[in-house]
Chains A and B, each alone.
Chain A
Amino acid sequence: MRASLAASAGVSLLQVGAAGIGGPLLYGLMAKVRARAEGRAGAPVRQPLLDLRKLLPKERIHATHSSAVLPLAPLVLIASTAVAVAITPLISTGPALGRTADVFVIVFLLLLGSVAVALGGLDAGTAFGGMGASRAMTIGALAEPALLVAVLALSIQARTSNLPGIVSATLAHPQWIASPERVLALFALVIVVFAETGRIPVDNPATHLELTMIHEAMVLEYAGPELALVTLGEAMRLGLLLSLVANLFFPWGIAATASVPRLVLGLAVLGAKTAAIAGVIAVVEVSAAKLRLFRVPEILAAAFVLAVLAVVTGLVMP
């Protein structure tokens, strides 16, 4: 009992560490793919980690009119994302509290992080923070139905909303991968991942024009270690979402027991899967243009329709 408790706690810490390092590496990989597609050499894949290391000893600056919410928001973001990473089955099906890793818990923990960053943006007392918060909450509000209905489709098929349960059910029924409801839910979830992580075509993370920013505008005011926490939190969020897409739709390679060789294999397989998805996202980013803000609801509505079709298909076809 105590050994299994220690093992699952160890798995959780391993997952948090892997996400903390792997998330920035995914950012670096996407930047590298982008650079190569543009014909440039590009920064090394580990560049975001170097950026974070440089940010930590820098000075912290708080806006004159801000309150305690401004420094608290990055802490809430990283705490909620870390807890979500710790309990989700990413490398193994048995992290600490993994039995309680309900898919709705993960969705609402991610929403907690978004709300925290939006409030931090509003606390700065500038027009940019308000604009970023307004746009981010609008897109989040419209992505929420698509996300919940898509995971509902998965939960109905697996007859449970427990994440290890869905993963085990998918492993037990490999033919589900090709089922129409899975494919439709996958498309809906991929569109939602673009919206939640703020990539082109929804938002350009590298833009310098404040009027085109959505997420970046909320974090304009952060400096030093707080900026490092926000960036790391967003990177872990990207890693979590890509890992969820990978594990819910292609769960092979996930460790069923907590033995070390299995965990290493699970980590390697997860890294490969998320790297592949990140590469695809980077190619889409390079070849598509950013959408106008008022076209984004149309793409999210399309994701919602796909998710509803997934549920209906799952109900109609046995």
Chain B
Amino acid sequence: MLACSLPRPTGRRRPEIRDPAPDLILPGSVPLPCAGRLPGNMITSSTVQILALLRSLFTRPVTEHLPRPPGSARLARFPGSVQLRHVDAGSCNGCELEIASAFGPVYDAERFGARLTASPRHADGVLVTGVVTRNMAVPLEKTLDAVPAPRVVVACGDCALGGGPFAGGYGVAGRAGAIAEPDIAIPGCPPDPVAITQALRALTGR
């Protein structure tokens, strides 16, 4: 049985933690506001963690259902599975946060067969974010060259598509299209995780 109370943002006092065994909290660790209780008054944060993990194995996942984009099965370049190497060619990290969200529990792009890899040799293409700065122009080119054929370029965010707030700056070499024409464009500043997920689905056709 869980007694879970979320802290109220009063700003005056930290919320009182209803933990009946404070001596079990190790020095330096943050007491959880939400504590699970086992018989015998033994509470540790790792116990909570493992219990939560085991429980979520059997409950419904929080992932949202997304409708399949029309015609995707027919247009899929890499049916069933695509791996992309993400390259940050000078972005503000806004797009990276949205991409992380897209691969997170709510939008989970992995269930459609898409995955990010560490090495471009393992990838089918490059996922570019950010306006291409002078320092990143050569590395982006080398990364793209390292991807085995057949390959694809996915430009994510307005910066990569040539627009965005940094276009024309002194450190900017050009848009991603100056290195290679993107096959898939995901506009937005930053693009919605749903848009990113649906774009990846278009590659895998799932």
Contacts and interface: CB of A to CB of B under 8 A. Distances in A.
Contacts of B116: 208
B113 A43 contact: yes
Interface in A4-50: 33, 35-44, 47, 50
Contacts, number: 97
B50 to A, nearest CB: 5
Interface residues of A, number: 35
A292 B58 CA distance: 31
Contacts of B112: 43
A207 B122 CA distance: 13
A227 B121 contact: yes
A220 B119 contact: yes
Contact of A59 (B111, B118, B149): B149
Interface string B6-50: 000000000000000000000000000000000000000010011
A13 to B, nearest CB: 27
Interface residues on B, range: 35 or more
Contacts of B104: 40
Given A220-B118, A224-B148, A287-B50, A50 B113 contact: yes
A97 interface: no
B62 A39 contact: yes
Given A54-B78, A59-B148, A286-B53, A42 B118 contact: no
A220 B121 contact: yes
B80 A53 contact: yes
A223 B148 CA distance: 7
A298 interface: no
A53 B99 CA distance: 26
A234 interface: no
Contacts of A283: 53-54, 57
Given A287-B49, A287-B50, A50 B81 contact: yes
B145 to A, nearest CB: 10
Given A60-B148, A220-B118, A54 B124 contact: yes
Interface in A257-288: 283, 286-287
Given A283-B53, A283-B54, A39 B61 contact: yes
A211 to B, nearest CB: 11
A159 interface: no
Interface of A: 33, 35-44, 47, 50-51, 53-54, 58-61, 207-210, 213, 216, 220-224, 227, 283, 286-287
